[in-house]
Structure 1
Amino acid sequence: MLKVSHHNGKQDTILSGLLKNVRYSISVAASTNAGSGPFSVPVYQDTREGAPELAPSSVECTAVSSTSVRVGWQPIALPGQGSSLVGYNVLYSTDEGAWQNATSLHTEFYIQGLMKYTNYTVKVAGFSSYGAGPYSYPIVCSTLEDVPGPPEETKVLTVSATSLLVSWKKPLHPNGQILRYTVYVKPISSTSPPQGYRVEVNPQQNPRTYSLEVKELSVSRQYEVWVAARSGAGEGAPGRRVPHATKHRGALS
C-alpha cells in the first residue's frame, strides 16, 4: 500500500526499494470499491546510480622493496559497480597507525614511502561520483628487510693494559632481523684496515645492551672503536666512533 500526499490539487507518492540505475515504466490507475479503472499512459524514469554495491575481489599485496608494496585486485563485477565507477580507494595502516588513503584508477597500486620491515593492513573499495562502496576484507603484508641503522650508545671502558670492554645497544631502526654485530678496532695512528670481531645474535634473546671484551691489544695505545649491525640485507651504517686508549701496566696496579 502506497502513501499518497496531496499538494495544490495534485497527488504524489514516493516509490522506494528500487534498483539503482534502472529504467522503470510507471502507470497510475484509480480504484474504488467497485474496482480499478484503466491505467494511464506509462511514463519512463531512470533511478540514479549510487555507490558501488560490491567490494573488489582477490585483493593481494606483494612486497616490492623495503619501503614499497604492490596491491592488486580484480575489478568489481558489472552488476555491482554500475556504469559510473570512477576508481578505487586503497586504505593502509600499520598495526597502531592511522589509516592512510590512496586513489587508483586501475586495478593495482604501488604504495611507496613505507616504513622498512613493517606489517601493513590493506583494504580496497570502489567509488563513483555518489561515494565509496564496501571495502574488501583486510589483508596484511610486510615490506622487505633492509640494512640496519647504526647501533646506539657505543661505550668503551678499560679492562686491562691489553683489553677494552665495548658495549652498545641495538639500532633504533633494525629494519629487519639482526643476525650479528661486528666490533671494529683500529689504532688511530695506523693505516692498516681495522680488526673486526663478530658477535652473533641469538633471536631467542633480546638483551638491552650487548658487550664484547677485545683482548690482546697493545699497551698504552690509542684506539678507535665502532660497531655495525648486519641483517639478511647486509651490514648497515656504523655507530659513532669512540676513541679510547689502553693504559700502561703501572696505571692499573
Structure 2
Amino acid sequence: MQQRQLAENAAGHSNFGPEVIFRTLGEAPTTAPIIVSITNGSDGCVNVEWRAPPISNGQIVGYRIMVHKIGNGAMREWYLKGNRQALCSLAYFSEFMLSIEADNGFGYSPTVTQKFTTDQKSPEGPPEMIQIRPLKSDAVMVSWHEPLIPNGIITTYMIYYREIKSQRPYTTVRLLVKPDEPSKSFSYNVTKLSK
C-alpha cells in the first residue's frame, strides 16, 4: 500500500509529504494442508506427499512436519520447503501419527494429522530362551520365546534337527503361528527321534 500525508491548520494545508510504501501484517493460513499420500518406501523410510492449504493467506514459505511414535511419545520434527519428503530411520512395524502445518511467514496453519504404520522387516535375531526337555527315549519338548525384536508379526517357526555327527540332512518341522495368537512363548514335541 502507499500513503501520503499533509498537515492542515486554520490558514490552510501544507504540501504532501514523501510517499510511504507499507505492508499490513499478514494472517496465518486458516486451513490445514492436505495429505495426498503416505507410502512405505525404501528400507526404514515412509514417503509423504501433501498439498498447500486451500486458504493460505499468502505464499507458503515452508512446512513443519512432526512424527510421533504412538505408545512412547517419541517425536521427530522437520522444517521443509517442498511438498514431499522421505521420512527415514523410523522403527519397523510401528504405528506413528503424522502432523503437517503450513507456514506463510505470518504463522502456522491448523494441523492436519494422519496415522500410518511402517513396513515389517526380518526379525533381528533368533528365537529367545530356547530350552529342550527329554520326554521319553524318542521324544523331546522344545520351547522358546519369540525374538526380542520381531520387526513384525511372526508367522512361522522352523525346527531343524538331526543326530550329532550324522551325514543325513536335517529333518525340518515347519510350525505356523495362528494370526491371532496372543502368546509370545511356544513349545513343540519332537517325536520319533532316532535312539
Q: Please classify the TM superposition score into its range, dividing by the shorter chain length.
A: 0.7 to 0.9
Name the residue aligned to 2:24: 47
Q: Structure 1 residues 215, 125: CA separation in 2 closer, same or farther (over 3 Å shift)?
A: same
Q: CA deviation at 1:38?
A: 7.8
The CA deviation at 1:57 is 1.9
- 1:153 pairs, out of 129, 152, 158, with 129
154-163 or 38-47, which deviates more: 38-47
What displacement does 1:45 show?
A: 1.8
Deviation at 1:132, TM superposition (A): 4.9
Counterpart residue number, 2:138:
162
The match for 1:105 among 76, 81, 93 is 81
**Aligned partner of residue 189 in structure 2, secondary structure:** strand
Q: Which runs of 5+ in 1 are unaligned?
A: 1-22, 31-36, 220-253
CA distance in 2, matches of 1:39, 1:57: 54
Matches within 5 A, 1:27-38: none
Preserved contact between residue 60 and residue 139 of structure 1 (Cα < 8 Å): no
Matched, 1:92 2:67: yes
Q: Which runs of 4+ in 1 moved over 6 A?
A: 37-40
Query: Could you tell me the TM-score, scaled by structure 2's length?
Result: 0.80
Distance 2:15 2:159 in 1: 93
Q: 2:109 aligns with which of 123, 128, 134?
A: 134
2:183 is aligned with 1:183 = no
Query: Which of 155, 161, 173 matches 1:197?
Result: 173
Q: Quick one: structure 1 residues 76 and 28, their matched pair in 2 at CA, closer, same or farther if it must change by over 3 Å?
A: farther
Displacement, 1:110? Answer: 0.3
Distance 1:217 1:143 in 2: 42
1:65/1:172 CA distance change after superposition, 3 Å: farther
Give secondary structure in 1 for the equivalent of 2:152.
coil
Alignment of 1:112-123 (within 5 A): 112-123=88-99
Alignment correspondent of 1:242: none
Cα offsets for 1:21-78 (capped at 9, x unmatched): xx25475888xxxxxx98984744223556555432234311224621111001245x
Sort the Cα spacing of 1:158 and 1:60 in 2 relative to 1 into closer, same or farther, 3 A.
same
Structure 2: tracts of 5 or more residues without a match: none
Cα RMSD of the aligned pairs, angstroms, is 3.1
The whole-number CA distance in structure 1 between the counterparts of 2:147 and 2:121 is: 13
- In 2: Cα distance, 1:39 partner to 1:155 partner: 101
* Number of aligned residue pairs: 189
Q: How high is the TM-score relative to the length of structure 1?
A: 0.63
Sequence identity (%): 25
Q: What CA distance in whole angstroms lies between the structure 2 residues aligned with 1:154 and 1:26?
A: 86
CA distance in 1, matches of 2:194, 2:160: 15
Larger Cα Rg: Structure 1 or Structure 2? 1
- Once residues 25 and 187 of structure 1 are traced to their aligned partners in structure 2, the CA distance between those partners, rounded to angstroms, is 97
After the TM superposition, which residues 71-86 of structure 1 pair with which residues of structure 2 at under 5 Å, given as runs?
A: 71-76=48-53, 80=56, 82-83=58-59, 85-86=60-61
